[in-house]
Amino acid sequence: MTSEDSLTEAGFFGIIAGVDEAGRGSLAGPVVAAAVILDPTHPIEGLADSKKLTECQRNRLAILIKQHALSYSIAQASVTEIDYLNILQATLLAMQRAITGLSLLPEQVLVDGNRLPDLTVTARALVKGDSKIKAISAASILAKVTRDAIMVKYHERYPDFSFHIHKGYGTQRHIAEIEKFGCLDIHRRTFNPVKTLLAQ
């Protein structure tokens, strides 16, 4: 992973915000994006791609990120926006909102993936950036922890659905629940198999 000290050598400069999302491939709920500007004087040990961390590790690191980051912002794009815009544009919108929500203006934005939201600052898209750049790793952790908390609340609201387990993704368990109990207002109607099941 690229350390904050070596970012300049890699061609990155100034105040850097890392950006990532969670929930892009889910069948339900919003897509969540986070933007983080880390404080180089308060390094956080253990930052990594959120998918490679346990839930306990993510939750612990999320607290440290919020405590020590120079600035962080978390934003969403709703199910309605996802169905209206498509998931790519909704994801970029959530990222744009997260970046705009930062209390500190970044000089450069590093985004995980291969597409960039519409921004007024210099930005770069980095494939697998969440495993290469600590600021992006931090953003991936905040996005994942935030979205998981949303899904746990969905389970409390809709106890027939195991959102606390599958987090809305298209697992066999989730699909079986949709087939048995029907679609909810939090399901993405343009995503299959939800779209197909509704048509039937």
pLDDT digits (tens, 9 = 90+) for 126-168: 999 999 999 999 999 999 999 999 999 999 999 999 999 999 9
pLDDT digits (tens, 9 = 90+) for 25-74: 999 999 999 999 999 999 999 999 999 999 999 999 999 999 999 999 99
Among 144, 157, 177, 127, CA closest to 27:
177
- Check residue 7 and give its pLDDT: 61
DSSP codes of every residue in 127-196? TTGGGTBHHHHHHHHHHHHHHHHHHHHHHHH-TTS-HHHHTT---HHHHHHHHHH---TTB-TTSTTHHH
- The rounded distance, in Å, linking the Cα atoms of 37 and 99 is 10
CB 174 within 8 A of CB 183: no
Q: What is the CATH number of domain 4-150?
A: 3.30.420.10
